Structure 1
Amino acid sequence: MAVKIPKKLTAICSTLALAITAQAEINTATIMASSASPSCLEYKVVGTCFWLFCTQFGCKVRTSTKVRHFLPEMVMSAYNHEGQNPWAEMNLMSQGVKGGEYRSPQKNYTQLTFKNATAIGHPQGAISSLLNSTGYYCQSQTTPFMPYFLSSLDYFAWRQNLPEMFYPEALTPGMREIKRAGDTWGNIFPRGGAVTQVNDYKASAVIAQRIADIVSRNGQLHIYQPAARTGGAGTWYPDPVKEGNSKNHKWQQLSPEMSKSCSTFPDTPPTLQSEKGNYAWALWRPYKCCKRRGQTFLYSIDWYNE
């Protein structure tokens, strides 16, 4: 079963967000501004919901519009050393074990790369104005600045790959990998901090994908806070993340380059790679919902096969 992150850490998140603790490549303000991305949002009217509305004079069926759009749920960071989280305000929560040695991304000294990692609730921000202009939109299941995964707390699973090194996905070559024709970035399992990959960007992307795989599911043998609600009554939360599937998640690069668009891994590595080996992405996931227009949700009809 998932072991929840202590509430004391959650309580200090808002305080941490107010003070910059170290020099880093991005901060809360830039992350909030980056969420104003119509291409990542992909707002669409997709169907109709039916509600039963009853009064003392009788009952009738009402309808409401069903919409679908993506939301930035979390900021995923992968970095070499403690205190080097690219998200400046989150450095106090990023204290943990030492990661990989410093090496320029242009100089491949070793194939084995180790990264510390965090998954923190996205602060939202500028996306609110985009959503307000649509008239109706879905609410995120995640809480801004909430720590959903801290590799420093998930020590044995993250450092020792226990028990996932014995999972079939970890023992079977070619199973659960991030790859495209002729280019394998890395395996999802075991979902720990070590990746066999000479390209630092690709190694960090594999780490981010592993964290997303964990936090989007319940009952994983890691110390984390799941973001895997089931929804209901006119709300449909996203399915668990699956590598390469752009229908259930997308990545927006935040550091070392800020991107205005989203993609799925494997994507095209940026021309600029981090000299410190620190990277961050916003994880966007799709939501569906419709406005409540009665006491009882009956059913919905989708116009598109999403």
Structure 2
Amino acid sequence: MNAVLISRATVLAAATIGLIGLVTAYVARAITTPAIVQSAISPECLEYEVIGLCAWLDCSTTGCSVKTSIRVKHFIPELVVSAYENTGENPWTEIALLSPPLGNALGGGSTNEAEPHEHANTRFKNVDAIGHPSELFYRFTDRFGWFCESDAVPFKPYFLSTLDALAWRSGIPEMAYPEALTFGIRELGVPGDLWSPVYPRSGFVSQTHDYKVAAATAQRAADIVTRRGQPHVYQPLAPEDDSDSGRWPPAAVMEGDPETHKWQRLEPEMTMACSIFPDGGENNRLQPPGDYVWSLWRPYRCCKKRGQELLTFTGE
């Protein structure tokens, strides 16, 4: 009897240790709001630069004069984009409850070919694009003097793939778009290392490498959110040109173009550097459950308004 009791206790202890290990491993791969806020203190991603001057016509009851202000350029972290395996399990801990399984948005994962020699592999990722919690970023930029502001609202859901289930899980109607049917256009990657077409902008990617799948779906979500009038359920983050007020927002995200965006990897293995895809992240050791998080940084140009009318400006 004692032997049986000891055996059961041993098994129970081993199972408990195993469960704790699994939970700990999952938590270690999750990311929290404080960590995301801290990641925004990145001079390399910021790329603050004085690029010229703005000349303003300032008029009052006593007459008019021309005043100048510096013109600056820098990147701003606008979105936190998560690409993850199972519906309802966003690795950003505090945001996970925003995307529970509902309606047609259930499950996730990948479909592997039965034969080991086959290279085709269809994988699926849920994607959420949430306004970056950037309070610390703006306090950080104070030291540089004048800086630009983004229209992004912290913690605002700009895209939740669970709410866009029809388009995100079927590819309708974009599977019939010329961008989806024409080889060699709107491709993520470089010659010799093509990761995925951008269209159709859905959660399914034919790709064997899980990191590349996640990156492709994150790129697709950013492509949607930074444009207006797309056939998806989302909130656009596409600020209008505001040059009369001394602010020049970025163009819509375009794959391979560092003049429209950069990515900062937050999970796994947070980095304080920014780049575009391909970014080398696929070379890191990847572990289940196949969840990834990036910050999307976008470039702004601006100058302080010092009059009623912007006369001219210098710089790129």
- 1:208 alignment partner, SS class: helix
Letter in 1 for 2:86: H
Name the residue aligned to 1:136.
146
Distance 1:297 1:58 in 2: 17
- Determine if the alignment matches structure 1 residue 185 to structure 2 residue 190: no
1:166 to 176, 201, 225: 176
Name the residue aligned to 1:216.
226
1:241 to 235, 253, 262: 253
1:52 to 47, 52, 57: 57
Would you say how many aligned residue pairs link Structure 1 and Structure 2? 279
Counterpart contact for 2:238–2:252, Cα < 8 Å: yes
Q: How far apart are 1:112 and its partner, in Å?
A: 0.3
Q: 1:86 to 1:270 in 2, by over 3 A?
A: farther
Identity of aligned residues (%): 48
- 1:133 alignment partner, SS class: helix
Distance 1:231 1:134 in 2: 24
Counterpart contact for 1:102–1:277, Cα < 8 Å: no
Q: 268-277 vs 244-253, which deviates more?
A: 268-277
Name the residue aligned to 1:296.
309
Letter in 2 for 1:111: N
The 5-angstrom pairing of residues 83-98 of structure 1 reads: 83-96=88-101, 97=105, 98=107
Counterpart contact for 2:111–2:122, Cα < 8 Å: no
Larger Rg: 2
Distance 1:271 1:262 in 2: 16
Q: How far apart are 1:101 and its partner, in Å?
A: 4.7
Distance 2:237 2:175 in 1: 24
Q: How far apart are 1:86 and its partner, in Å?
A: 1.2
Counterpart contact for 1:73–1:282, Cα < 8 Å: yes
Q: How far apart are 1:124 and its partner, in Å?
A: 1.0
Q: 1:102 to 1:144 in 2, by over 3 A?
A: farther
Distance 1:265 1:125 in 2: 27
Q: 284-293 vs 173-182, which deviates more?
A: 173-182
Gaps of 5+ in 2: 1-25
Gaps of 5+ in 1: 1-21
Letter in 1 for 2:95: M
2:75 to 65, 70, 78: 70
1:122 to 114, 118, 132: 132
Normalising to structure 2: TM-score of the pair? 0.85
2:267 to 236, 252, 255: 255
Distance 1:243 1:113 in 2: 20
Report the structure, 1 or 2, having the larger helix content: 2
Q: 290-299 vs 252-261, which deviates more?
A: 290-299
Counterpart contact for 1:80–1:102, Cα < 8 Å: no
Name the residue aligned to 2:279.
267
- 2:238 alignment partner, SS class: coil
Q: Any idea what the Cα deviations from partners look like across 1:239-295, whole Å, max 9, x if unmatched?
A: 111101112110000001101100100121242223101001000000011001112
Distance 1:151 1:274 in 2: 23
1:100 to 109, 115, 121: 109
Letter in 2 for 1:130: F
1:279 to 292, 302, 309: 292
Letter in 2 for 1:80: E
Name the residue aligned to 1:19.
none
Two-structure CA RMSD over aligned residues (Å):
1.8
Counterpart contact for 2:122–2:204, Cα < 8 Å: yes
- 2:68 alignment partner, SS class: strand
Letter in 1 for 2:215: A
